[in-house]
């Protein structure tokens, strides 16, 4: 499987596990982050997934399933969703965190899961609604987060 690599980040590949070490600007506090999203591609209905820095709206790594789906544009747009939810929670004086955000479209599910340890980083997953299992997708996203090293 060919994986797209964001040119502005140095990504190293651990081929047996297909784990990506995301090394970004250390002033943003993201150096040495390791998140393996490759297993998400095994989900039924997989369209694409990426890891996003919500402070910059930049895609840190991505796994492309459907060639016509622009994950970089999705990352930027969903950054606004995450920011808006944080703003609403602050206005409501909610002392809580986002576990995940589900957006259901006519033909797709979009899941956004901020990392508990680093809430400014989130995993975005797009699935085809007809063939995807929403429950399984949420379980797999949680597993990815559990094994993330941030």
Domain annotation covers residue 63: yes
- Considering its fold, how many domains does the chain have in total? 1
Domain annotation covers residue 5: no
Domain annotation covers residue 110: yes
Domain annotation covers residue 24: no
pLDDT at 26: 23
Tell me the residue range of the domain where 106 lies: 37-147
The CATH number for 73's domain is: 3.30.450.30
pLDDT at 141: 95
Domain annotation covers residue 20: no
Dihedral, CA of residue 105, residue 106, residue 108 and residue 114, to nearest 10: 10
pLDDT at 34: 86
**What count of other Cβ atoms lies within 10 Å of the Cβ of residue 35?**
21
Domain annotation covers residue 23: no
16 contacts: CB under 8 Å, gap ≥ 6: none
Distance CA(147)–CA(11), nearest Å, equals: 18
Regions of the chain short of the pLDDT cut 50: 1-29
pLDDT at 33: 77
pLDDT at 30: 55
pLDDT at 31: 61
* pLDDT tens-digit series, residues 51-86: 999 999 999 999 998 778 999 999 999 999 999 999
């Amino acid at each position: 499987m060919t994986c797209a690599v964001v040119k502005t980040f140095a990504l190293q590949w651990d081929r047996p596990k297909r784990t990506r070490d995301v090394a970004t600007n250390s002033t943003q506090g993201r150096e040495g982050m390791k998140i393996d999203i490759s297993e998400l591609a095994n989900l039924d209905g997989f369209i694409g997934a990426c890891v996003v820095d919500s402070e910059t709206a930049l895609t840190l790594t991505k796994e492309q399933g459907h060639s016509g789906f622009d994950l970089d544009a999705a990352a930027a747009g969903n950054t606004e969703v995450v920011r808006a939810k944080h703003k609403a929670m602050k206005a409501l004086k909610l002392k809580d965190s986002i576990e995940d955000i589900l957006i259901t479209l006519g033909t797709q599910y979009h899941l956004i899961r901020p990392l508990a340890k680093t809430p400014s980083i989130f995993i975005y997953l797009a699935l085809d609604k007809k063939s995807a299992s929403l429950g399984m997708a949420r379980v797999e996203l949680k597993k990815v987060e559990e094994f993330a090293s941030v």
